[in-house]
Amino acid sequence: MNAANAADAASTTNTANGADVMVRIENVHKSFGGLPVLRGVSASCARSEVVCLIGRSGSGKSTLLRCVNHLEKPDAGRITVDGELIGYEDRGGRLVERRERDVERQRRDVGMVFQRFNLFPHLTAAENIALAPRKLRGLSRAEARELAVASLERVGLADRRDAYARHLSGGQQQRVAIARALAMEPKVLLFDEPTSALDPELVGEVLGVMRAVAEQGMTMIVVTHELHFAREVAGQVLFMEDGVIVEAGPPEDVLVRPRHERTRAFVSRTL
Ligand code: ADP
Ligand code: MG
């Protein structure tokens, strides 16, 4: 390979700044009924990196996450997860929608944890976690149970495996929801305000579990208003406003020494 070809190959491999990119978002646009919600968003998340996405309500954070998980379809732009194009196949410049089967598989690679954890209250913690692996990954009852218990161990709840979800605290339920997402062995975990629905005294245990999951090497994109968490755990913080990323960088820059007045105003109000 000559030098020009080598440079060409390097620019098309799945790397940026020497880091292995897990999620790449390029110039994504999305409108709802003529109202632009995402106006050309570009960002990337390296393998095993935690990216925290911050910004006011209505700025487009959830919509952006939902585009990565096929819950919304961008009007334009490209999103790749582990180098694979999400949602569409690019055939000679034409965007072709993926088959449902591919969408299902891609969704499995992208775990999601919501504000409302939506466990089945009448099932145990382990049963809640075992459901999807049995259905979607074809695991036997015993295999799924074993995986559920292992996942509960990762969130520090193995001793509550046989407790009914309705008997768990809100913080414990959210930890089960995180274990449920982990059990699918996703390539990346998306969190959309995972502690916003919790009583203040329960927030810490969930953030602690998220930090532990990050330390286990999980790639995570986290929408949060917990700027202390972002400062301590994130490799990168993105500040979003009116459908654009105003500022992105390491937490010490974005949260402590923001370059933009709008970031400064948001951070000083929120911290
Ligand atoms: P955030 O998560 O930052 O609060 P969202 O992505 O939820 O922001 O919403 C951004 C804007 O898009 C808001 O004005 C919201 O009302 C609008 N929006 C989000 N989803 C829809 C939808 N499915 N239909 C119409 N408008 C939507
Ligand atoms: Mg939101």
pLDDT tens figures, 127-155: 999 999 999 889 999 999 999 999 999 99
Confirm or reject: Cβ of 120 under 6 Å from ligand 1: no
Closest protein CA for atom 7 of ligand 1: 62
Which helix H or strand E contains 135, and what residues bound it? Answer: helix 125-137
Q: CA quadruple 250, 53, 42, 40: dihedral positive or negative?
A: negative
pLDDT tens figures, 231-256: 999 999 999 999 999 999 999 999 99
Kindly tell me if the per-residue pLDDT of 15 is higher than 50. no
pLDDT of residue 13: 43
Output the CA torsion 12→14→15→16 (10° steps): 70
Higher pLDDT, 41 or 70: 41
Q: Which atom of ligand 1 lies at the shortest distance from residue 72's CA?
A: 23
Q: Which ligand is nearest to the CA of 192?
A: 2
Which helix H or strand E contains 167, and what residues bound it? Answer: none
Closest protein CA for atom 24 of ligand 1: 32
Kindly tell me if the per-residue pLDDT of 7 is higher than 70. no
Kindly tell me if the per-residue pLDDT of 64 is higher than 70. yes
Confirm or reject: Cβ of 224 under 6 Å from ligand 1: no
Higher pLDDT, 84 or 130: 130
Cα–Cα dist 86/49, whole Å: 19
Cα–Cα dist 95/32, whole Å: 20
Q: How far is the CA of 193 from the centre of ligand 1 (A)?
A: 14
Kindly tell me if the per-residue pLDDT of 18 is higher than 50. no
pLDDT of residue 3: 44
Nearest to 230 by CA among 197, 271, 172: 271
Q: Which atom of ligand 1 lies at the shortest distance from residue 63's CA?
A: 6
Q: How far is the CA of 201 from the centre of ligand 1 (A)?
A: 29
Closest protein CA for atom 27 of ligand 1: 32
% the chain with pLDDT above 90: 79
pLDDT of residue 176: 98
Give the predicted TM-score (pTM) of the model: 0.91
Kindly tell me if the per-residue pLDDT of 48 is higher than 60. yes
Inter-residue contact 82 to 107 (CB < 8 Å): no
Confirm or reject: Cβ of 30 under 6 Å from ligand 1: no
Kindly tell me if the per-residue pLDDT of 89 is higher than 80. no
Kindly tell me if the per-residue pLDDT of 12 is higher than 60. no
Quote the ipTM score.
0.98
Cα–Cα dist 183/158, whole Å: 13
pLDDT of residue 268: 92
Cα–Cα dist 47/39, whole Å: 26
pLDDT tens figures, 154-168: 999 999 999 999 999
The whole-number average pLDDT for the span 260-271 is 91
The whole-number average pLDDT for the span 198-221 is 97
pLDDT of residue 98: 77
For a mutational test of ligand 1's pocket, the pick from 62, 67, 112, i.e. the residue with the most ligand atoms closer than 8 A to its C-beta, is: 62
Closest protein CA for atom 21 of ligand 1: 32
Kindly tell me if the per-residue pLDDT of 172 is higher than 50. yes
Q: Which ligand is nearest to the CA of 244?
A: 1
For a mutational test of ligand 1's pocket, the pick from 38, 57, 63, i.e. the residue with the most ligand atoms closer than 8 A to its C-beta, is: 63
Locus of tokens 């768990």 = 168
* Strand residues in 10-93 grouped as ranges (E): 15-16, 19-32, 35-46, 50-54, 76-81, 84-85, 88-91
Kindly tell me if the per-residue pLDDT of 17 is higher than 70. no
